[in-house]
Amino acid sequence: MLVKAELEKLELPYSYLELGEVHLKEPITEINRQQLAAVLHLSGLELMEDKTAMLIEKIKNIIVEMVHYDDELPEVKYSVFISNKMGKDYHYLSDLFSKTKGMTIEHFIIVHKIEKAKELIMYDELNLSEIAFKLNYSSVAHLSHQFKKITGLTPSFFKSLQKKKRSNLEDL
């Protein structure tokens, strides 16, 4: 909504506006680009024009949406899901992501799944078996192994902590 309002204030016509992506109907002047970048920066947003950065950001958004906001994780392989969402070959996306972020897409997904597991543990509404099932782990042991590998703690020990710490999604 913020981006839409700012585009309208600057009288910049667009044909497409979705979370993280805008398609302008005509080229933007340097002055308008600077104004838009400044307004977005004040709101904690960034104007990205680099196609690689935009692809990486889109992959990250798909993963965050998939893990944290969808009720269920997809039943297809994550590689197929991401490839279908992006309309691009997964190997290309995976290679680009690894070179740019310094970690694989798979590791990025695991980090987010563990963050979601931490959230579910903190809510204390589901047991570890239910959390493992909800996050598409084959077993509690598999979840526990990845949890310890990422956090250094077992899920049970994390649950017993008085002050549980979660990371901001933007920092993952």
Per residue in 84-107, pLDDT tens? 999 999 999 999 999 999 999 999
Q: What is the mean pLDDT of residues 123-144?
A: 95
Domain with CATH 1.10.10.60 in the chain: 50-172
CATH class entry, domain 50-172: mainly alpha
DSSP labels for 126-149? S-HHHHHHHTT-S-HHHHHHHHHH
DSSP string, 34-57: HHHHHHHHHTT------HHHHHHH
pLDDT (tens digit per residue) in 25-65: 998 899 998 998 898 888 888 887 788 988 999 999 999 99
For residue 2, what pLDDT band results from cuts at 50, 70 and 90? confident
pLDDT at 136 over 80: yes
User: To the nearest whole percent, how much of the chain has pLDDT over 90?
Assistant: 62
pLDDT of residue 47: 83
Q: Does the pLDDT at position 15 exceed 80?
A: yes
Residue 79 in contact with residue 90, Cβ under 8 Å? yes
Q: In angstroms, rounded to a whole number, what is the distance separating the alpha carbons of residues 121 and 10?
A: 46
Instruction: Note the pTM of the prediction, 2 decimals.
Output: 0.75
Angle at 38 between CA 36 and CA 44, to 5 degrees: 105
